[in-house]
Structure 1
């Protein structure tokens, strides 16, 4: 996590003192997350079950792009 993130954001289920390091994700496809340090890891939690069909799914990307023109939605919660 960068300094701003550590000082201003409590990540759900994270310890307040001495939080673990958060990995920055640059991109994702299928079941994998591509980190900013060049590593590629499997998203075993499926991003809290919201990525059950994988990342960058062409049919879902098309539907999302269409919906964004109408209304966007972001969830950041525990």
Structure 2
């Protein structure tokens, strides 16, 4: 679960999707992504006020690799301009 405060002018739904993408296999640029890669994308499944729940497919992570999990969940999202 993430607590999200969107920057001014950004709706929470769009910011939640950006956080899910940035914390899994998404990118800020437009790419043609094969279906087998798209299947590894994180998905927003609940938004309640500023709290957002995001599901990550097990296959996204290497078994036993805690640094990988932590870098995905708490990595680049803190630098996103869509967040305050």
TM-score, L = length of structure 1: 0.21
Compare the two structures and name the one with the higher helix fraction.
Answer: 2
TM-score, L = length of structure 2: 0.21
